[in-house]
Amino acid sequence: MSTRQTEEKITALYERLSRDDESTGDSNSIVNQKKYLEGYAAQHSFSNIVHYTDDGWSGGNFDRPAWKRLVADIEAGKVALVLTKDMSRIGRDYLQTGFYTEVLFRKFGVRFIAIGNSIDSDDPSSSEFAPFVNIMSEWYLRDLSRKQRTAIRVKGESGKPTTNCAIYGYRKDPDNKYHWLIDEEAAAVVRRIFQLTIEGHGPYEIATMLCEEKVETPATYFARQGRGVWKSREDIPRPYSWNGFAVGQILSKPEYMGHAVNFRSHKESYKDKRAVVHAPEDWLIFENTHEAIVDKETWELAQKLRKTPRRHDTIGEANPLTGLLYCADCGAKLYNHRSRGNAAKPYPSDWFDCSTYTLARQSHDSACSNHHISTKALRTLILETIRSASAYAISNEAEFIQKVRAASEVRQAQAAKDLKRKLNKDRRRCEELDTIIKKLYESYAVGRIGEERFDTLLIGYEQEQTTLRQSVTEAESALDSFEQDTANVERFLALAKKYTDFSELTTPMINDLKSREDFNLQEEGYGKRRRYL
């Protein structure tokens, strides 16, 4: 390359500093790197210098903005020389660093100098140890990653949040970075999302409301607060573009009850930035580590409502009773049917009927019977029942609690005995299967049984054990429900006092008081039906 050609091209001075490098002192600071490289360039008469600076970027990540711009300029033929303080500034992944310094730079005729390592690509003897320098740089990164993983594990197991930033609705305590304080502006949005859910609105419907009201998305809000990935951006694209996924994420976080949740995910390697998501049962949850934005009852009710999707009917509305009503005869859900009415049928219709009967009729089959009840009559019955039960519970609180406890004891006497017997039997069989499976492995290991026979037996035993464990879990939940009656009574009393005006059956009231309602719709004589709540 001629001297004139070299002078026309860029002398690229590349500086990089990661968060971890900051702890090593001022010698690695971006300012000092720039001064050092400028002095070296002036001493060796390198002209037309241009700085490419990545501040706060790890050496294991080559997706850095300034580095990508430098590579693009090299491929465009604009660069004659790349000058850096040492090899580790290029990167700490020896394979990728080697690709750039040994392949890409040479391909485009770019000279490379790493001052601290005495490496100059124009001097072949100085490059002999470059691969070893790269390997040592990667070893440093690997060791640092291992230490960071250990530190995060210790911090997470002690109950301290492992996230870098507090979630939407909270901010870090200035006096204790591991403690979160409520951010009232964002917390108001979080509370509203939970309230709208209880009122019967779905995540996508809530997202549409927030968009129309021009409520900032969490990312936009964080940027305005100088937090998050967009903290340095002034022009945030689509600042109000809420979506159902974002709303669902907020609704699913136990942190809003005041809990710290650690180890939701992990990364397999410092080279692979993809997160491996953990199942909720593998999370580590520490309760009451910070102030709650929503109470436990509100959060749990929101989770229950999310499990019961409210499909919009042909009128474009979602019935708040959908998914809550069951046929007393066959146990199937009741379907809601609605229409506005038209010229041929001017009166609107709105009723529930048994889904088993409806589906059987469509396939010209017979199952269950033609049970139906109008929504108007249904809402009246529910409202009257709530009024009657609430009035009695409030005026006769002690007697009400005593009656529920007495009924609970009767239920336990009738059902708990058989349930406990079955539970103990299933537990013993699970333990037996553990022993059997262990002996099966031993028999296979010493050659007593063949591989095909081993696989057949193992699959059968594991399937049986899975079924038994599920049965044990269900039985334990059923037994626990016997002990929850008193707690449910107290909750009902609190709700009865909350809803003092029972003039109208509202969606929040239905969701607060909801339980499985069975409707015994029995035929009495030809063409007559009686309905019982």
* pLDDT for 58: 83
Q: 184-198 vs 244-252: helix axis angle to the nearest 10?
A: 100
Contact at 8 Å (CB) between 255 and 261?
A: yes
Q: pLDDT value at position 482?
A: 58
Shared-domain flag, residues 29 and 124:
yes
Domain extent at residue 483: 394-499
The tokens describing 464, both together, are 């049986």
- Arithmetic mean of pLDDT, 443-456: 85
Q: Among 367, 391, 415, give the residue marking a domain's end.
A: 391
Please check whether residue 159 lies inside any domain of the structure: no
Confirm whether 317 is domain-assigned: no
pLDDT at 442 over 70: yes
Res 415: pLDDT:
67
Pair (297, 179) in one structural domain: yes
The answer for residues whose C-beta is within 8 angstroms of residue 186's C-beta and 6 or more apart is: 168, 169, 170, 218, 221
In a domain, 314, yes or no: no
Same domain, 401 and 370: no
Same domain, 363 and 296: no
> What is the pLDDT, as a whole number, of residue 183?
94
Does 102 share its domain with 208?
no
Task: List, for residues 475-504, the tens digit of each pLDDT value.
Answer: 777 766 655 555 666 777 777 776 666 667
Look up tokens 């927030």; give the residue: 210
Higher pLDDT, 145 or 427: 427
274 and 348 share one domain? no
Q: Does residue 517 sit within a domain?
A: no
User: Which pLDDT score, from 0 to 100, does residue 533 have?
Assistant: 34
Query: In 10 A of CB 208, how many CB atoms?
Result: 16
Whether residue 527 is contained in a domain is answered as no
Strand 10-17 and strand 79-84: the pairing is parallel
Which contiguous run of DSSP H or E holds residue 488? helix 485-498
Q: Give me the pLDDT at residue 52, please.
A: 95
139 plus 70 within the same structural domain: yes
In a domain, 320, yes or no: no
- Do 350 and 241 lie in a common domain? no
CATH value at residue 10: 3.40.50.1390
Do residues 12 and 133 share a domain?
A: yes
* Domain final position from 391, 420, 441: 391
Cβ neighbours of residue 120 closer than 8 Å, sequence gap 6 or more: 111, 112, 113, 126, 127
When divided into structural domains, the chain yields a total of 4
The model's pTM: 0.52
**Rounded CA separation 86/105 (Å):** 16
% of the chain residues with pLDDT over 90? 24
Q: Does residue 441 sit in the same domain as residue 347?
A: no
- Are 293 and 337 in the same domain? no
Report the distance separating Cα 101 and Cα 232, nearest Å: 32
Q: Is 531 helix (H, G, I), strand (E, B) or coil?
A: strand
**Which residues are bridge partners to 55 per DSSP?**
17
Same domain assignment for residues 372 and 398: no
Tell me how many helices (H) and strands (E) the chain has.
Answer: 19, 17
531: pLDDT strictly greater than 70: no
pLDDT in tens, 219-259: 999 888 888 776 666 777 888 999 999 999 999 999 999 99
pLDDT given for residue 452 in this prediction: 86
* pLDDT averaged over every residue in the chain: 79
Is residue 149 in some structural domain?
Answer: no
Confidence of residue 365 (pLDDT cuts 50, 70, 90): low
Helix (H, G, I), strand (E, B) or coil at 218: helix
